[in-house]
Structure 1
Amino acid sequence: MLKKLAVCALGLLVAAGAAPASAQVDLGNGFSATGTVTGATDYVFRNISQTRSRPAIQGSAELSHEVGLYIGTFASNVAFPNTNARQEVDLIGGYRRTIDNFTFDIGGTWYTYPGYSEQPGQYQLSYAEAILKLKYELEPVTFVGTAAWSPDFFGSSGNSLWLEGGADWKTPLHDIVISGRIGYQWIDNNARFGAPDYLAYSIYVTVPIAYGVSVAAGFYGTNISQSECGGLKVCDNRFIASVSWTF
């Protein structure tokens, strides 16, 4: 069974492609809120399709305080092979702090799949991850890194570790951002997960439009062959386009 079928992260709020620039609503007393609605041609998590290469509608919301604490949620449709899982709802929380050009984010995500019921021979899909995210801004380039660990990964596949690094370059043309990421996923029980440990890589472009709307497009790949992916195409290389509205 494939992980989720498994962005900054997110760990922070994750969605296919790049997230648009954050816009916040001041709620007073140090609190602020933001939300994003995204439509995408596919939903990939660590470059493996969660929707069997079909479109996704997603939403995320975050409530934060000026001391650095935040809570949030992310929701999307999913379609895992041979399961009745049709939606994902994640609960997110953590602490984020910026010091000069450096930002660190220590948090966790509980990935859940409401409505999913285990059939004979199947395993629980929900799992939790502890996530560390680092960001360093050296205009016009931002360097990012993510480490995520789970004691029992998707599909009860055991201990897992995800490491990812990359960079975002804000071009002088209309604040267009070109991003690149490379990461590696380790999983204890590969047979239960449905794929081997793997390399993931992506390059994508995000273009801000107006009023919180942005569009993104990019290439997402893994080094998993179709035979190593149970004969499925969810691990294949793919192009994804999305449009997001942040409010």
Structure 2
Amino acid sequence: MKKVALLATALAIVTTGSAFAADLRVKALKAPPPPAFEPWDIAFGAGIMSDYVFRGITQSNHKPSVTAYFEPRYNVNKDLQLYIGASASSISFPNRAAAEVDIYGGIRPTFGMFAFDFGVWGYLYPGGQCFGSQGTLLQGNCGGDIDYSQGAIGLPINGNFAKKSASFYEGFAKLNVTLNDQWTVGFNEYYSPNFLNLGAWGNYASITAKWTAPSTTFGASGVGMYVSGEFGRQWFGTSDIFYGIAGDPVYANGIKEPSYNTWNVGVGFTYKVFTLDLRYYDTDLSKGDCNALTSDHTAKFDSSFTAINPGGFGSNWCSAAGVAKLSFDLTAMTNLK
């Protein structure tokens, strides 16, 4: 009887000890607490491209351009972000401005597969000069903006006018819809009351699509790939008298700026923080209307006569262009930890 009691006692001790040890093991394997939420982040990057094309129109006279940006962000929570930013790009404008400086800000709310972006974007073009009639006509009258020390006297050789300032701002709304791991579609709307300081309102709307290749496409190399495209429509109102046509009964007080369609399609390759994008751009603007819209200082006479371009000079700034861009993009909380 004593042996039975001793055996029962030993089994009870072993069982209790085993249960206690198991309990210790379970407690030891508990997951660590989640990291603290980081509300602040900074995105920045830079790139070089063979041509700077904006809505189908070159901003760099079909020459290479460099660009960089800096964007502080504040994450209210995982689905709501506030941001401001600044960027700069090299350009070649008719008024001789050589840089575009952008200041922007907005809010990015996300609801599941829907990512919105609302904000304001300002485009600044410092260093411009005025080219026009030098006071001899109401059209192209530079007034006090003539800079004789910089040689801004008389018209460019093709007769185009250009204001000293081309700066303007736009309000915008964007929506990106993530359909699955491979497909994203987007819808964009931009509005400016005075596009490029032409005196005409501007409205741009577009749709975009992007397909991202599976991560296994190039094996374990770390190289990613995507294909994307955009189709957009740019509408314009009527310019102010600066761009009017002297003596014309319809356009003496300003021209109806030409609205147009634009599109682009391209393929990109990514590796870590680097992206190589190869893209084709085009518009349906004629060379004559392109000249009237852009005041291209390199336009040449080629009989491109239109109602708003009576001089017959044509510009290829709105023609088809292939662009290669190499860039890098970093976010402090993701890439610099």
TM-score (norm 2): 0.62
Name the structure with the higher helix share. 2
Residue of structure 1 equivalent to 2:286: 225
1:146 aligned residue:
188
Q: Which amino acid aligns with 1:233?
A: N
Q: For the structure 1 residues 59 and 90, does the alpha-carbon distance in structure 2 shift closer, same or farther, using more than 3 Å as the test?
A: same
Higher relative contact order (Cα pairs below 8 Å, separated by 6+ residues):
1
The equivalent residue for 1:21 is none
Contact 1:129 1:149 (8 Å CA) reproduced: yes
Identity between Structure 1 and Structure 2 (%): 29
Answering whether residue 172 of structure 2 is matched by residue 159 of structure 1, we say: no
Runs of 5+ consecutive residues of structure 1 not aligned to the other structure: 1-27
Aligned positions of 1:46-85 closer than 5 A: 46-67=55-76, 68-81=81-94, 83-85=95-97
Following TM superposition, by how much is the alpha carbon of 1:219 offset from its aligned partner in structure 2, in angstroms?
0.6
Q: Secondary structure at the match of 1:96?
A: strand
Q: What are structure 2's unaligned runs of at least 5 residues?
A: 1-36, 133-139, 141-161, 218-222, 244-254, 292-313, 331-337
Q: CA deviation at 1:227?
A: 2.3
Q: Does 1:242 align with 2:325?
A: yes
The runs of at least 4 consecutive aligned structure 1 residues that moved more than 4 Å come to 190-195
Q: Which runs of structure 2 are paired with 1:173-192 in the superposition (5 Å)?
A: 173=217, 174-189=223-238, 192=243
Instruction: Output the TM-score relative to the length of structure 1.
Output: 0.83
Deviation per residue, 1:22-64 (Å, 9 max, x gap) = xxxxxx8611001110100000110100001000000011111
Alpha-carbon distance, 1:118 to partner: 2.8
Point out the more displaced range, 38-47 or 201-210: 201-210
Q: Which residue of 2 aligns with 1:136?
A: 177
Q: Is the 8 A contact 1:206 1:217 kept in 2?
A: yes
1:172-202 deviation line (CA, Å, top 9, x unaligned):
2243110010000001126948961000001
User: Is 1:206 the equivalent of 2:268?
Assistant: yes
Q: State the match for 1:118 in structure 2.
A: 130
Task: Work out the CA distance in 2 between the residues paired with 1:40 and 1:205.
Answer: 15
Kept in 1: contact 2:237–2:257 (CA 8 A): no
Which one has the largest radius of gyration?
2
RMSD: 1.8
Query: Aligned equivalents of 1:29 and 1:217: distance in 2?
Result: 35
- Partner secondary structure for residue 66 of structure 1: strand
Aligned residues: 218
Q: Which amino acid aligns with 1:188?
A: G
